[in-house]
Homo-oligomer: A and B are copies of this chain.
Amino acid sequence: MEIKEEVENKQIILKGYIDRAPLESDMELNVGNKIKLKISKGSNSVLIKNLYLSCDPYMRGRMREFYGSYIPPFVPGKPIEGFGVSRVIDSDDPNFQSGDIVSGMTGWEEYSLIEDTKKLRKIQQDDIPLSYHIGLLGMPGFTAYAGFHEVCSPKEGDRVFVSAASGAVGQIVGQLAKLHGCYVVGSAGTKEKVNLLKTKLGFDDAFNYKEEQHLDATLKKYFPEGIDIYFENVGGAMLDAVLLNMRVHGRIAVCGMVSQHSYRGEDGIHNLFTLISRRIRMQGFIQSDYLHLFPKFVEHVGAYYKQGKIVYIEDMSVGLESAPSALAGLFTGKNVGKQVVCVSRN
């Protein structure tokens, strides 16, 4: 007999396209939606209950009406999409069973129907917090891992600079670089974050870029012999200052928010001439190009975590209704560490 009862399924929807950093008011809670907690036979779909949702800077790019990127925009009136950790409620795909914990792209809603189940990954529950599967062991962690090891060509002793260093990606880049025998300095936007970098996250040094008048001089102070590797998360004036401080044959891995900051109308990047004199390689990357390395990443970084060699700082907001504020906060630096939203603990 078919289950006919429907339950309420709260959603966070995008109200309309924007072309600036998102505000809380660009999204709204939709309480009218209902969903049947049963999958139709033959659909090959999976019905999941969303537990943790990820707030990531790249999501800003999906809030504007632009189709030339590697990922299409959100649909106004429909739920925001993002990475999540979820529990399987019902499944018509033999690879998933009710009760399984999965991670993958999901909707900002209480329950989601996933038709393309190939994009779900089953999580083996152990002593790693479930929410870490959208952070340390999810897309941000993998971005750090692939970017650092596959793009930065690190060597022991390299001098590494990480911007947005206490963020979801930066904190892992810095710790991976330390484990690789590098000298690591990070920048962040508050005193609290700078302290975390130096105490909890093991960076050799760190500074608050908002307190620095001359980024070029600041970098020369922290890197008197120059920078071998820059893990670029912010673009703009910081990138320009770093270009003046790179060492010969330096590498710049370009990722994250530079894509958001470099629109026309703002001041551009002026110091690319050092690419030549210092023979710098500047390379954009997207973690999804390296997915063949994902199992190795989970094994390595999972082991580092269990051995206490890597820590991870999360900023968790509670309740689906807190998600718009949490996402908007990324762009003002409100979050301390990886921003996640807890929709439900089980």
Contact = CB atoms under 8 A, between A and B. Distances in A.
A251 to B, nearest CB: 10
Nearest to A243: B262
Nearest to A244: B68
B273 A259 contact: yes
A289 B284 contact: no
A279 interface: yes
A285 B279 contact: yes
Interface string A239-283: 110000000100000111011111110111111111111111111
A270 B270 CA distance: 9
B269 A279 contact: no
Q: How many copies does the complex hold?
A: 2
Contact of A273 (B258, B267, B271, B282): B258
A307 interface: no
Given A267-B268, A268-B267, A268-B268, A273 B278 contact: no
A174 interface: no
A297 to B, nearest CB: 18
A259 B284 contact: no
Given A262-B272, A270-B264, A277 B68 contact: yes
Interface in A277-302: 277-286, 289
A235 interface: yes
Interface in A183-238: 235
A103 B281 CA distance: 31
Contact of A272 (B254, B277, B279): B254
Nearest to A271: B262
A259 B271 CA distance: 9
A275 B270 contact: no
A316 to B, nearest CB: 27
Interface in A155-185: none
Contacts of A277: 68-70, 259, 284, 286
6 contacts: A69-B277, A262-B273, A268-B268, A268-B269, A274-B284, A281-B284
Given A254-B272, A256-B276, 15 more contacts: A70-B248, A235-B273, A255-B276, A258-B272, A259-B276, A259-B277, A260-B273, A262-B272, A262-B273, A268-B268, A276-B284, A278-B284, A279-B285, A279-B289, A283-B283
